[in-house]
């Protein structure tokens, strides 16, 4: 673990939730709920960038702060 010159130990914990298929249906509902209750970053993932960013924009209009990442586990890109 990292130490300062004074010998004090610092520990940084970052919580991240990754929701696959978050642009619609159950995935979208999970992202919404986690944005309200989870103490960390919530990533909405989707294969289609347009649908994913539209879903994020919709949640941001509700005052929530999801992040977006394109994720296609079947693709080669």
Categorize the per-residue pLDDT at 3 as very low, low, confident or very high, splitting at 50, 70 and 90.
low
pLDDT for 4 equals: 53
Q: Which domain holds residue 31?
A: 16-70
| 55 part of a folded domain | yes
pLDDT for 1 equals: 47
User: How is 52-77 classified by DSSP, letter by letter?
Assistant: HHHHHHHHHHTT---EEEE--TTS--
**Structurally, how many domains does the chain consist of?**
1
| 44 part of a folded domain | yes
Question: Is pLDDT of 20 > 90?
Answer: yes
Question: Is pLDDT of 75 > 80?
Answer: no
Question: Is pLDDT of 59 > 70?
Answer: yes
Categorize the per-residue pLDDT at 44 as very low, low, confident or very high, splitting at 50, 70 and 90.
very high
| 49 part of a folded domain | yes
Q: How far apart are CA 9 and CA 18, in angstroms?
A: 29
């Amino acid at each position: 673990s990292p130490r300062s010159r004074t010998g004090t130990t610092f520990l940084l914990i970052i919580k991240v939730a990754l929701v696959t298929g978050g642009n619609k249906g159950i995935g979208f509902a999970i992202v919404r709920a986690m944005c309200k209750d989870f103490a960390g970053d919530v990533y909405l993932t989707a294969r289609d960038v347009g649908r994913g960013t539209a879903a994020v924009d919709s949640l941001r209009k509700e005052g929530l702060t999801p992040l977006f990442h394109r994720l296609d586990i079947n693709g080669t890109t």
